[in-house]
Structures are given as structure tokens and as C-alpha cells.
Amino acid sequence: MLIARRISRHLTWLIASLVLMGLLTAWWLMAMRTSDKLPGGGSSVGLTLGLIGGLLIAFEMALVLKKRLRSKLWMMFQTRLWMKAHIWLGLLTFPILLLHSGIRWGGWLSATLLALLALVWLSGIYGLILQQFLPKIMLDDVPGEAITSQVGHIVGKFSSDARRMMALHFDLDGDEATPRLTMPSGKAVAEKPKTPYISVGSVRAHTKTESAEPEKKSTVSAERLLESYVKQISPFLEEGDRLRTPLSSSSRSRDYFQTLRAVIPTTTHETMEALEGLCEQRRQLDSQARLQFWLHNWLLMHLPLSWALFVLMFLHVFVALKYL
């Protein structure tokens, strides 16, 4: 949920939260003045704060039901409003329950609960901060955002498109899915060709030129494109930034293709540019995966810790009521 750029829409919640917190803190401070120690869970103010905090946590957990249940009852509540309440009431939980504890760790159970609450609270704030700017970065840096489940298919398409483009200039060995290209040997390249294409090892480079001399020059140069394709471009399109390659950085990739352009025949420039475009799209997929990871991985902490907090809270209530 975006807050930073839409703070006016959250103003009522902000003011209400501050007022409520102010009133509860004032009550707690007054109780502190009348007793000689910090009022904890056993005092009337502490007990009330514990009750409010517990209800707030139960409400926070209800987001699980809201997100997963599609029944009419849950659909009645606007998701946006629910999310606002989750954030602002969630922010209140830690200060309220800290006062409830009398700002003491207490026994192992209450100390664990307080630590869990702090972690859930902090992870929620962390997630909210990420939600403020990661979607914007995604929009700016990854204009062609792909559906996550389609990424494998798209990667396969990049590789087959690249292979098809290369096949315009070279006869490629191996099957379509896993190209196994043998690099041309220097000896074969040096030989003057008699046919319109030159067999070099298992790769034949098609040339458009008629005379033998430019043909030789073009073949040697075309080899550089083939070499780049086999050693850098094709592995990068398949593996992405898991490989250490200049192609994983846009500036180094630009330099790489500029250097390549100077040593390959002009007849292959268009193909090279198309390959460069595919590499750019592959980088975007990697960026998208990285951003998606950061946008969602905090929930891997927030959600299980919330459940642990929720379950332990009942144990805490049970133990507390037993000794009250």
C-alpha cells in the first residue's frame, strides 16, 4: 500500500492513532504516579492495555482470512480500507503491549512474546517501506514486466529466437532445444571457399559476397559473432545473471556489443542488434525477479512470526489468567 505519496488519505488514521496512543499513554503514566513501580499486566491499566493489544493482534491476523476467503461476508469489507486499518492499528500494537508489559521482559514466555511482537512489527514496517518504492522502480526499470509463471517460457523463447537469427548466417548443429555448436577451426576458415557458404567444422557461415578475398575477411569476422553467440550470448540468455558475464550489466553489455560490431561484417549487424535487444530483455527479466524477491520475501518473516505470536499469545493469556 502506497502511503508516502498519498499521506492525505491516511491523515485521519494518523491523527486517530496518535490521539488513541496519547490517551492510553497518559492513563498509564497517571497509574505510574499513583503506584511506586511501572504498571504491568496485573494492574487495571495494564490489563486493559493487554486486552486492547490482544484484540488488535486478532484483527491483524484476520487479514489472512480477508486475503484468502472469497465469501460475501469478507468481500463486504473494502480491501484498501482493511489494509489501512492493518497498518495503522498494527503500528499501535507494539507501544500498547510494551506499556502492558510494564516495559519489562518478565518470564521467558512474555519475553518471547515481546521479542516476536517487535520482529513482526519491524518486518511489517520494513515491508511497507519496500512497497513505497519498489513498484515504482519496477515500472521504470522493467517496462515489459512479465507474469512470473511465464518467465521460464519467455527465457526459452529468447534462446530459440536467438538461435533462429543465428541460423540466418550459420548452419547450426545439434537439436533445436539444446544447441551444441562446434567452433570453427582456424585451418578451415583460412581455406578459400568454392561454394556460396563455407564449411567450418560443423558450422557453415553463409556469405553474400562474390569475390574470394572479401569473403575470407567476412568469414573471419562472422566467426566473432558466432563465438560471441556460443560463449556469451546463448549462455546468458539461458542462465541470466547467474553467470558472470559482461552481458549482465547494461553499460558493459553496450561496450561489448560496440566492440563486436567493429569486428563483424555489416551483413550481420542487424542480427547482432536483435541479439543485443534479447540480452536487454533478459536483463529486465532478472531485474524483475530481483525486485519481486525483495517485494515479497519479507512476508516470509512477517507471516510465520505473526502465527507464532498469535498462538503464543493464547498460551500467555491462559497462564496469566491461571495466576491472576
Q: Which residues bind ligand HEM (CB under 6 A)?
A: 57, 60-61, 63-64, 67, 86-87, 90-91, 93, 117, 120-121, 124-125, 127-128, 131, 299, 302-303, 306, 309
Residue 79 CB, nearest distance to ligand HEM (Å)?
Answer: 9
Residue 279 CB, nearest distance to ligand HEM (Å)?
Answer: 33
Residue 312 and residue 112 in contact, taking contact as beta carbons nearer than 8 Å: yes
Between 45 and 96, CB nearer to ligand HEM: 96
Between 100 and 169, CB nearer to ligand HEM: 100
Q: Is 225 exposed, middle or buried (0-12, 13-18, 19+ CB in 10 A)?
A: buried
Residue 123 CB, nearest distance to ligand HEM (Å)?
Answer: 8
Residue 66 CB, nearest distance to ligand HEM (Å)?
Answer: 9
Residue 41 CB, nearest distance to ligand HEM (Å)?
Answer: 17
Between 101 and 219, CB nearer to ligand HEM: 101
Q: Which of 180, 295, 286 is nearest to 243 (CA)?
A: 286
Concatenate the DSSP letters of all residues of 198-267 into one string.
EEETTEEEE----SHHHHHHHHHHHHHHHHHIIIIIHHHHHHGGGS--GGGSHHHHHHHHHHHHHHS-GG
- Residue type (1 letter), 48: T
SS3 assignment, position 171: strand
Between 299 and 311, CB nearer to ligand HEM: 299
Residue 135 CB, nearest distance to ligand HEM (Å)?
Answer: 11
Between 168 and 300, CB nearer to ligand HEM: 300
Largest Cα span, the chain: 106
- Helix residue spans in the chain (DSSP H): 11-34, 44-68, 72-75, 79-100, 108-141, 151-166, 186-190, 212-228, 234-239, 250-263, 269-297, 299-323
Residue 102 CB, nearest distance to ligand HEM (Å)?
Answer: 19
Between 98 and 198, CB nearer to ligand HEM: 98
Between 117 and 237, CB nearer to ligand HEM: 117
Residue 138 CB, nearest distance to ligand HEM (Å)?
Answer: 15
Q: Which residue is nearest to ligand HEM (CB)?
A: 124
**Would you give the DSSP letter of residue 10?**
G
Residue 313 and residue 54 in contact, taking contact as beta carbons nearer than 8 Å: yes
Strand partners, 36: none
Between 302 and 316, CB nearer to ligand HEM: 302
SS3 assignment, position 117: helix
- Side-by-side strand order, sheet with 203-206: 170-171, 203-206, 197-200
